[in-house]
Amino acid sequence: MQRFGEKLRTLRKQRGMTLKQLAQAIGHTTHSHVSELETGKRRPSLDLALRLARFFDVSLDQLVKDELELD
C-alpha cells in the first residue's frame, strides 16, 4: 500500500480535479485529508478506500496493491 497516494494523485489529476473537488465528490472528508493520503502521511480507512475505488471506477486491488498498475 506504499503507492496508494501516488495512484490516488494520478487518478485525481487524470480527472482534472483539485483536492477540494475530490473531497467534496466522495464526501465525509476534507481536502487536507486527501492531501495527507496522497503524500502518505495517512492511510485510508477501508470505507474511504472503497469509496475512492468506486468513484474512480478501479478495483480496490488496483488502488491498494503496489504490484498492480492502474489501467
Residue-range domain boundaries for the chain: 4-57
pLDDT, one tens digit for every residue, the chain (71 residues):
899 999 999 999 999 999 999 999 999 899 999 999 999 999 999 999 999 999 999 999 999 998 889 87
Question: 4-57: CATH homologous superfamily?
Answer: lambda repressor-like DNA-binding domains (1.10.260.40)
Give residue 39's pLDDT. 97
What angle in degrees, to the nearest 10, is found between the helix axes of 19-26 and 46-56? Answer: 110
3-class SS letters over 21-66: HHHHHHCCCCHHHHHHHHHCCCCCCHHHHHHHHHHHCCCHHHHHCC
